[in-house]
Structure formats: structure tokens, C-alpha cells
């Protein structure tokens, strides 16, 4: 059995506002094993990035972790003091942000930023850290790394900047990387290169990756398992092949049905009616029920708990305890 790197149990994240307490994440549970890529997908506002921020300890006031626990390996990290969490962030958990241009300081050479990260989390000398930085740039596919290490971020293309950000995330050889929309700002050909790079580095380093995105194409290509999120909860989680090819939750079916294929001759794609509910107006029962084509009475009053159906876990009343359609 693959060693578990990240374990999240019944996570709740709340924000205190003048209107009261708003729950952005409500009972999320997931695990990621060593060398595994877990894709987290859903519409904007589903809670994907907030979940990643909670794991890495970047929920700032008025937000707070209101319940559950987060474990990195055998250590619980959600209740650590800020100073201890700061030492974990970067050393044991790396982060790849959406926009590589804003992730890098424009006033410092990329080599200086990588070397600083290495020296912050290791005991390496400046000379050895620079050599390590050159090795990392080579590993992520930066041409002529001995020369490009002294370049500024604006001297790199978008794809090359994202490779530098990946090198930064790997600098201290973390156990877990959270990649928050790492391909959104890139064109399609560069997206494919970055996905291939992430997959290779994940396997070679044995690093666990939480890949946050709204792009099902990226999920299908890069991830081993996928968690479909809706309104701060996980609607379905399981192997990519099962969720993409035969989704069970009505929301997951809607997402997959909205993806065009080369063989599709339909004039219109599947459309999910309505929109994601606001945090101030999350409906009772199943949060998806106002948009669900299969809704019935129980959906409106009782929140569904995850049920094992085949190889996936589905939070839907359409399935009974034996995993058969009701």
C-alpha cells in the first residue's frame, strides 16, 4: 500500500463576517499517497483553492480552520503555531501558484530566489546551493541553466517562468506540492509540457501533488485520482478513469458532459442550469439539489454522506448502502 503523505479529515474552513459565520469548506476528507497526483476540480467558488490554502496554512483572518484535522505524514499540522508552520511551508510542503509572473520577485534574479529558498530550509553553503539551483533548472528543462540562472523573471517566457516556479517548489525536496491552477496562464502547447514535467518529477521524487484546476483535460492527463468539489464539499472522489469515463454524481456527469470531443456531433454541449450558490445562501440538504436533474424529496432536507460505489466515493442519495442505484 502506498505511504500516505497527506491526510485531511472532515476539514471545515469558516470566515467571520458582519453577516455572521460563512462556511467555505464543510467536511472535506481526502488522502494523497507518495508519488500520487490528486486532481481537485470544480467550478469557481467550489472551494478548491481554499482547501489547498488550508493545507499549507495560508488561511488569513477573518478566515480560520473551524474543524477537522490535517496530517502531513504522521504529524498533525492544522493546529501548529505560525512559526512552526512557516518552517514546514517550503521545506515539507511546496506551492505552485497560478501566475508565474506574480509568483517571482521581479527585482531579484531567479537564481537568487532559488538559492535563498534552498538556504532557508537546508544547511547548504551559498556555493553548493547555487550548484543545486542550476541542477534544479536543468531538471525542469531550462536551457543553458548556468547562464539563465542570473536572469530576471521578465527575461523568461511564461512557460519558462512556470518551470522556474516548479524548481522553487522542489528546492527543499518537499513531501507534498500544492499546484493551484499551474497551467491556466499558459497556452495549450506549454500546458502539455508543464503537465508532463509535473508527472515526471512527481514519479522521480516520490512527491505527492494536489493539483487544483477547473480544467478536466488537465485532470484527465495528469492526475491518478480526482476529487470533484461542489459548494465546499466533495461530491465524488475516485480514480480518474472511473470519474471521467463513468461519473456517478449528477454534478460530475454535468461537468464531463460539458467537455467537447472530436467525435461529438451534437450541436449543443450539456449545460448545468443555474450557478454555484453563494456562501450566504447554501441550500439545505444536498447543496446541488436546486440544479440537479435527478432531485427528489430527500435531497432537499438531508445532506448525503459519501458512499462507496465501485471504486469511487459518491455523496448522492441516488445510491444506497450497497452502492446500487436507488
Q: Is 160 among the domain residues?
A: no
Task: Report d(CA 215, CA 83) in Å as an integer.
Answer: 35
Of all helices (H) and strands (E), which one includes residue 115?
A: helix 110-121
Please classify residue 260 by burial: count the beta carbons closer than 10 Å to its beta carbon, then call 0-12 exposed, 13-18 middle and 19+ buried. exposed
Domain count, the chain: 1
Nearest to 63 by CA among 287, 227, 279, 288: 279
Q: Is 134 among the domain residues?
A: no
Quote the pLDDT of residue 262: 66
- Which conformational region is residue 24 in: left (phi greater than 0), alpha (psi within -120 to 50 degrees), or beta? alpha
Per-residue pLDDT of the chain (326 residues; tens, 9 = 90+): 479 999 999 999 999 998 889 999 999 999 999 999 999 999 988 999 999 999 999 998 999 999 999 999 999 999 999 999 998 998 999 999 877 778 899 999 999 999 999 999 889 999 999 999 999 999 898 999 999 999 999 999 888 998 999 999 988 889 999 999 888 767 777 788 888 888 888 888 899 999 998 888 888 889 999 999 999 999 999 999 999 889 999 999 998 887 776 666 667 777 888 999 999 999 999 999 999 999 999 999 999 999 999 889 999 999 865 434 44
| CATH code, 297 | 3.40.50.300
Q: Is 97 among the domain residues?
A: no
Q: Is 29 among the domain residues?
A: yes
Q: Is 149 among the domain residues?
A: no
Q: Is 98 among the domain residues?
A: no
Quote the pLDDT of residue 322: 41
Report cis status (omega within 30 of 0) of the bond before 317. Answer: no
Report cis status (omega within 30 of 0) of the bond before 62. Answer: yes
Which spans in 140-211 are helix H? 145-148, 158-170, 188-205
Full domain range(s) for residue 284: 4-92+172-314
Greatest alpha-carbon span in the chain = 67
Nearest to 212 by CA among 81, 46, 19, 69: 46
Quote the pLDDT of residue 266: 64
State pLDDT tens for residues 166-190: 999 988 889 999 999 888 767 777 7
Q: Is 143 among the domain residues?
A: no
Q: Is 116 among the domain residues?
A: no
Amino acid at each position: 500500500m502506498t505511504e500516505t503523505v497527506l491526510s485531511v479529515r472532515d476539514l471545515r474552513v469558516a470566515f467571520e463576517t458582519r453577516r455572521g459565520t460563512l462556511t467555505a469548506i464543510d467536511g472535506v476528507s481526502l488522502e494523497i499517497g507518495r508519488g500520487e497526483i490528486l486532481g481537485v476540480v470544480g467550478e469557481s467558488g467550489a472551494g478548491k483553492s481554499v482547501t489547498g490554502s488550508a493545507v499549507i496554512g495560508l488561511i488569513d483572518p477573518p478566515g480560520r480552520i473551524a474543524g477537522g484535522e490535517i496530517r502531513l505524514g504522521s504529524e498533525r499540522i492544522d493546529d501548529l503555531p505560525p512559526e512552526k508552520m512557516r518552517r514546514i511551508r517550503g521545506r515539507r510542503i511546496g506551492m505552485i501558484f497560478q501566475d508565474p509572473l506574480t509568483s517571482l520577485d521581479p527585482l531579484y534574479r531567479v537564481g537568487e530566489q532559488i538559492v535563498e529558498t534552498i538556504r532557508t530550509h537546508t544547511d547548504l553553503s551559498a556555493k553548493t546551493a547555487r550548484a543545486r539551483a542550476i541542477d534544479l533548472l536543468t531538471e525542469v528543462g531550462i536551457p543553458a541553466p548556468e547562464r539563465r540562472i542570473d536572469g530576471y523573471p521578465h527575461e523568461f517566457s511564461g512557460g519558462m517562468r512556470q518551470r522556474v516556479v516548479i524548481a522553487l517548489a522542489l528546492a527543499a525536496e518537499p513531501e507534498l506540492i500544492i499546484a493551484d491552477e499551474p497551467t491556466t496562464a499558459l497556452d495549450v502547447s506549454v500546458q502539455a509540457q508543464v503537465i508532463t514535467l509535473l508527472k515526471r518529477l512527481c514519479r522521480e521524487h516520490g512527491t505527492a501533488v494536489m493539483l487544483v484546476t477547473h480544467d478536466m483535460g488537465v485532470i484527465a492527463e495528469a492526475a491518478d485520482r480526482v476529487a470533484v468539489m461542489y459548494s465546499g464539499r466533495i461530491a465524488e472522489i475516485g480514480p480518474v478513469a472511473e470519474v471521467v469515463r463513468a461519473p456517478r454524481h449528477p454534478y460530475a456527469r454535468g461537468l464531463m458532459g460539458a467537455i467537447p470531443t472530436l467525435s461529438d456531433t451534437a450541436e449543443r454541449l450539456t449545460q448545468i442550469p443555474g450557478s454555484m450558490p453563494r456562501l450566504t445562501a447554501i441550500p439545505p440538504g444536498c447543496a446541488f439539489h436546486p440544479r440537479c436533474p435527478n432531485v427528489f424529496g430527500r435531497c432537499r432536507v438531508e445532506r448525503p454522506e459519501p458512499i462507496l460505489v465501485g471504486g469511487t466515493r459518491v455523496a448522492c442519495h441516488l445510491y444506497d448502502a450497497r452502492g446500487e442505484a436507488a
